[in-house]
């Protein structure tokens, strides 16, 4: 095997190892951070949806005015 062929084989092996390490690191990060895909997260995002009409009704009702412990729940 010539030096050039050995160099190309070593470079290809290094690239394969780097790709494997990257895939492993990504899989570990997703596992540790409980990452989910965007399609599955759409239902979870509904929790954070802003309802301006409900907010307006809550502000006009002023439940904290009648209950001094309203914010201490």
Instruction: Give how far the C-alpha of residue 46 lies from the chain's centroid of Cα atoms, to the nearest Å.
Output: 15
Give average pLDDT by consecutive 10-residue segment, the chain, 73 residues: 57 78 90 72 77 95 92 81
CA 50 to each of CA 5, 42, 62, 63: distance values in angstroms, whole numbers, following the listed order: 62, 14, 19, 20
Domain residue limits, the chain: 3-72
Q: Is 34 helix (H, G, I), strand (E, B) or coil?
A: coil
Q: What is the pLDDT of residue 22?
A: 93
Q: What is the pLDDT of residue 41?
A: 66
Q: What is the pLDDT of residue 35?
A: 65
């Amino acid at each position: 095997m010539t030096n050039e062929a050995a160099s190309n084989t070593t470079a290809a092996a290094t690239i394969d190892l780097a790709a494997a390490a990257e895939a492993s690191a990504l899989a570990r990060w997703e596992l540790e951070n409980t990452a989910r895909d965007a399609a599955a997260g759409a239902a979870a995002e509904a929790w954070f949806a802003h309802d301006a009409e409900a907010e307006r009704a809550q502000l006009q009702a002023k439940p904290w005015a009648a209950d001094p412990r309203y914010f201490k729940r």
